[in-house]
Structure 1
Amino acid sequence: MFFAGLVGLCVAGLSSAEVPSEPDCAAGDRKACFEAGTAYAEGTGVEASMNAAIPFFLRACDRGMPQGCTTAGLYILDGAGDLEPNLEAGMHILETGCMRGDDKGCESTVGYLTAQDNPMANTGKVVDVLIQGCKTGSMWACGWGARAAQDGYGGKYPEMADISKAAIIGEMGCEKGNLSACVVSETLFGDPSSALFDAEKSLEYSEVNCDSDIAESCNNLARVYYMINELELGTVAYERACQLGMEQTCAEAKSFRAYLTAKADYEAAEAERAATINGLINAGRYGEAVNTAIYQMGSANQVEAAVRAAAGAGAMSKVNTQDLYVVASWFSSGEVRRIADAEMAARGTGLEGTFGTGTNTAGAADARWKELYGSSIPTTRASSPSAPSTRTFGAGDAAGQVRDKYRTAHCEMAGSNASAAVCRN
């Protein structure tokens, strides 16, 4: 067994008396071994003897109870009772308690390895010990180790910083449920300037942390979603950050929610307008469709739909001349303008290519309309609201590459978002 040699060192000190749990310990019960060690350490029913207690603690540890190693290691380091202090043996056993997953063992190990007055101090091995401790179940090791490897625990121990090891223990700890490790992972993988940048992992950890009520993570998530044009998801994340007390996100959350509400209202109204125009088009009433889109709706989108349909059906002759002037005024270039100009040319108006542009722009076009029809030229009224601006990750090619990576990650992540609009474009 692993501790057979160390147990042998203490056998000479065993008492001839026996505590009730010893037979069960001998039969392999690790809890009974720990209880026997505690009885000898405290003198419960037997003469107190640390020399007698240590072998039982080590047996408990060797049989899968790491608290036994932690307890034995601390007693040996302190030279408790009838023990002689043994730094080397004590540190080895204490570290073993940590590496087998005991929280107290890991915390105590870090304390001794970083103590300036400890001859066995060694800050360089701390992270490696904690990685093993995290692997075997110590949540304390996962959290403290991730922060130590990330930045030397806030710069206190710079020699511990190692982002490669931070990534290992951060992901491991987060998977086991340690929130500090999740935050470290989000930071490591979410920095576009870092060699560890990973858009998918960044999104994953931001979502985990936001769901765990970390306001900054909700803020980070919102920035990513806005960057890839997932405005509803971004607004929900900003609202969450605001609810969690991050006041600087509240104004953006409010403005984007107002925008999304207005946009939804516009789209619903536009759908109704489209249904009306499509009904006229399907009935072959092309001129009426253009006229309705101009005067009743003030919708450039519906004017475009009606003009294209009329042109496709060879029915531009059904469109009123004055309506052609409006179309030319609303569309300064593009296919719809070309269609309107062609029809004006066919009618000999002499205004093709000029109405609403050149010498007839702005006020001049309106003046010409007033001269012809006695009123101001119709203007568009139905238009989609403009999205507010927000903070993302900068501009330029580098930012564009980051945006593309996040969009790809969002669209390909588990629980696929492939049906989202940003993933179809």
Structure 2
Amino acid sequence: MEKPKTGTPKVVLGVSGGIAAYKACELLRRLTESGHGVRVVPTESALHFVGAATWSALSGNPVATEVWSDVHEVPHVRIGQEADLVVVAPATADTLARAAHGLADDLLTNTLLTARCPVVFAPAMHTEMWEHPATQENVATLRRRGAVVIEPAVGRLTGADTGKGRLPDPGEIFEVCRRVLARGSAAAPDLAGRHVVISAGGTREPLDPVRFLGNRSSGKQGYALARTAAARGARVTLIAANTGLPDPAGVDVVPVGTALQLREAVLKAAADADAVVMAAAVADFRPAVYAEGKIKKREGEQPAPVALVRNPDVLAELSAARPRPGQVIVGFAAETDDVLANGREKLRRKGCDLLVVNEVGERKTFGAEESEAVVLAADGAETPVPYGPKEALAEMIWDLTVPRLT
């Protein structure tokens, strides 16, 4: 039977046999330094890349790959039973296949079968292996059973190859693990099987080759939404406008610059999305004329006025079109005065399902790590979110979105 879990959170770090195994050392460091007790369970092939002595020294716990070590302690059962989280990073195609089919020929796969806690897989492999129908079916099976399978990153692979299949940054994998642990073992990944699209950052409208009209949005709220959605099992597409932030683990990031580019990317991604959250600060206007050369400062002359034209209203367009039936649309309203009154009017005008209203300014919300807001709903409900981490606001937005998904 499963033992009650008390004290230090216990994490099992499974390591598969891939070149990305060395990156798991950084994940292990972050887990131990944040107060988690970590037991590393590598596969036999993983030890060809990083030796058992390294894992044991970094974790402070013994390392074994087979069920025959310390048999009297029944490790093939106890390790999984006592864990608060199991994370496999990297997870190779072979490990995903064995986990999906319930094979148990080593200590790691036995641990996966006995674990009754959340399980996170961080795949790493060549693009062709990730895209193979067998791997995709195995991933779908694991997600259907409640595991969080992080989408691999795009980048340099082994040799000269580049593509999707790279292990996400260990710091970002840690953030997923932290969020999954915070939600607890009783919280199912309620966005599993869902595709969510999130816009983040602030668009920039070019005036000439060196100048632009922009805003103060950092993208931190949109990235918090992406990280929390990934930890809740969603497939996440993040349309990122001029953020300069590291890509969240398990998220497909589409970089954009202008409002028109953001509109094109959002409409394309929204075609099969269950929910779209427009957290980006999209410019309302752009210069009517783009100067091909830098606009010069003329001595004794005043600059010519800059004529502006309206940008498309992406949020209103999405709400009216609903690219997918039953799609939930969430907007943001950044206000400087009459915050709630302006927010209610904007909700009516935009036609979205939820509108996150917050007060902004030079030292409020934009660029900060914390925020407060009121989430207005089309049915008249109002949910205040007190001042706190943007991550907490992101969780509340998903808490309100999930029941509206059909």
For the criterion TM > 0.5, the same-fold answer is no
Query: TM-score if structure 1 supplies the norm length?
Result: 0.27
Q: Which structure: greater helix fraction?
A: 1
Q: Which structure: greater strand fraction?
A: 2
Greater RCO (CA < 8 Å, at least 6 residues apart): 2
**Higher Rg of the two aligned structures:** 1
Query: TM-score if structure 2 supplies the norm length?
Result: 0.28
